[in-house]
Chains A and B, each alone.
Chain A
């Protein structure tokens, strides 16, 4: 299981000013807290800074890596920002994300070839996001073939089948999980990844939906998540589901988290 912490993202209202002001202490603090909470990588997105993105992204990566031993998921739609980010990154980075839209694919592939990062690859192309499991598998196949052709080993590819809001399509989670199964079966070595929040768009109590979706994804073989690791309930559910799915021998991790106080919030909730 791989967890990417999603909080350092310029589209979040609180984050953009910190990036613009180059508030290193705040950014490092947020990176550190995510790692301590269980994230393996920290996603960094500065895309809303527009012209300022390239420099800011490089600054944020360097600042975080100087202060703590974290790998970064370099998150940008802009090949220039991506290249600069990967240049300054120490160790193996993750690239978030490539897809089959013509412009994105052709712009990113040279960068992928040069830096060989782990790659998040989204199942979409110029005609959009497929709404069937077979359609998602077809795009996943093209992505895997293209990326392995560019020298990325299968285990460094993270396919995101892309989830729609359940509010607009009651069948979309079923299709998503079916696609996940097909992709895992066809490419056993390739990893899968997804975000959690899109599924709950347009409905009340979104966190509740995201929690259950996480568990369903785990049960269908999801390998990685981009999520908020500071959400204690989410992390507790993740650990618990992993244990139930035989990903936690002798329940060591579960018990370790209990002893570390990570489940204490349940007590205060009950009181």
Chain B
């Protein structure tokens, strides 16, 4: 197989949820001297993008999306050592710190978001559930995260999101980080009201938003 064939086959392996196939193709590609980043961007990521579109169109459902992410990460695992040995070791998109806000222990949407961010090329620091505002600030400063993602699944815990935004303001670091919010009761109107930077209706929307913003903010150095 030549370069194009390998990349197309990688995309197809994701669409077929074929982890063994994807790993074999990655090994073949590395042996053929294809740059690791091309295997990701030109192959695996195209597959994930196609799955994401099918998910939005409700042709593919949540368990399949998660399975595709698993196949992607399984293949990525083989690529990473080579990437780290070259200049391509840094996160391709940027760094994200995410968590479910104080008082709220819902984890599923937030964990799905973490996985999809990872797949999109972010280095993800998942702080878990019931995260105190101070923890978001601390981790964002420590990692230099461009993206801070907040999740709330209850109307009663949405105010905790405002607290986080306010703490970033109080610490004088509000302009250094982009704060994105999500969760079923959250709306664009609420996002505007608490002056967060963006709202994603679905995890995939949130990822698209993060990619766009990280692109504007530039890669971390």
Q: Residues of A with Cβ closer than 8 Å to B? A: 11, 47-48, 50, 77-78, 101, 103, 124, 126-129, 164-168, 170, 201-204
Q: Could you tell me if B108 and A128 are in contact, using CB atoms closer than 8 angstroms?
A: no
User: Which of chain B's residues have a CB closer than 8 A to the CB of A127?
Assistant: 105, 129-130
Q: How far is the CA of A50 from the CA of B66 in the complex (A)?
A: 35
- B62 CB contact (under 8 Å) in A48, A124, A165: A165
- A167 CB contact (under 8 Å) in B62, B103, B111: B62
Q: Could you tell me if B107 and A128 are in contact, using CB atoms closer than 8 angstroms?
A: yes
- Is B33 part of the contact surface with A, judged by Cβ < 8 Å? no
CB-CB nearest in chain A for B112? A168
Contact flag A203-B156 (CB < 8 Å), given A165-B108, A168-B112 = no
- Is B4 part of the contact surface with A, judged by Cβ < 8 Å? no
User: Which of chain A's residues have a CB closer than 8 A to the CB of B156?
Assistant: 47, 77-78
14 CB < 8 A contacts A-B: A48-B155, A48-B185, A103-B103, A124-B105, A126-B105, A127-B105, A129-B105, A166-B63, A167-B63, A168-B112, A201-B108, A202-B62, A202-B63, A204-B58
Q: Could you tell me if B66 and A168 are in contact, using CB atoms closer than 8 angstroms?
A: yes
User: Which of chain B's residues have a CB closer than 8 A to the CB of A48?
Assistant: 155, 185
For the complex, count residues of B whose C-beta is within 8 A of A: 18
Contacts A128-B130, A164-B108, A203-B61 known; list 5 others, CB within 8 Å. Answer: A47-B156, A50-B155, A77-B156, A127-B129, A203-B63
Q: Could you tell me if A170 and B63 are in contact, using CB atoms closer than 8 angstroms?
A: yes
User: Which of chain A's residues have a CB closer than 8 A to the CB of B105?
Assistant: 101, 124, 126-129
Q: How far is the CA of A203 from the CA of B107 in the complex (A)?
A: 18
Q: A59 → chain B, closest Cβ, in Å?
A: 19
User: Which of chain B's residues have a CB closer than 8 A to the CB of A165?
Assistant: 62, 108
* Nearest 3 Cβ contacts at the A-B interface: A202-B62, A167-B62, A128-B105
Q: A260 → chain B, closest Cβ, in Å?
A: 38
Give the dominant DSSP class at B's interface: loop
Q: Could you tell me if B63 and A168 are in contact, using CB atoms closer than 8 angstroms?
A: yes
Q: Could you tell me if B63 and A47 are in contact, using CB atoms closer than 8 angstroms?
A: no
CB-CB nearest in chain B for A10? B155
Q: How far is the CA of A101 from the CA of B106 in the complex (A)?
A: 12
How does the 8 Å CB contact mask read for B127-139 relative to A, with 1 for contact and 0 for none?
A: 0111000000000
Q: B67 → chain A, closest Cβ, in Å?
A: 10
- B154 CB contact (under 8 Å) in A77, A128, A129, A202: A77
User: Which of chain A's residues have a CB closer than 8 A to the CB of B112?
Assistant: 168
CB-CB nearest in chain B for A49? B155
Contact flag A203-B108 (CB < 8 Å), given A47-B155, A47-B156, A48-B155 = no
User: Which of chain B's residues have a CB closer than 8 A to the CB of A126?
Assistant: 105, 130
Q: How far is the CA of A53 from the CA of B107 in the complex (A)?
A: 26
How does the 8 Å CB contact mask read for B101-130 relative to A, with 1 for contact and 0 for none?
A: 001010110011000000000000000111
Q: How far is the CA of A204 from the CA of B59 in the complex (A)?
A: 10
The B54-91 residues at the A interface (CB cut-off 8 A) are: 58, 61-63, 66
Q: A103 → chain B, closest Cβ, in Å?
A: 7
Q: How far is the CA of A124 from the CA of B105 in the complex (A)?
A: 8
Q: How far is the CA of A169 from the CA of B216 in the complex (A)?
A: 35
Q: How far is the CA of A202 from the CA of B108 in the complex (A)?
A: 11
Q: Could you tell me if A128 and B63 are in contact, using CB atoms closer than 8 angstroms?
A: no
User: Which of chain A's residues have a CB closer than 8 A to the CB of B128?
Assistant: 128
Q: How far is the CA of A204 from the CA of B60 in the complex (A)?
A: 10
Q: A201 → chain B, closest Cβ, in Å?
A: 8
User: Which of chain B's residues have a CB closer than 8 A to the CB of A166?
Assistant: 63
CB-CB nearest in chain A for B129? A128
User: Which of chain A's residues have a CB closer than 8 A to the CB of B111?
Assistant: 168
User: Which of chain B's residues have a CB closer than 8 A to the CB of A101?
Assistant: 103, 105, 130
User: Which of chain A's residues have a CB closer than 8 A to the CB of B108?
Assistant: 164-165, 168, 201
Q: How far is the CA of A158 from the CA of B35 in the complex (A)?
A: 58
The B145-163 residues at the A interface (CB cut-off 8 A) are: 154-156
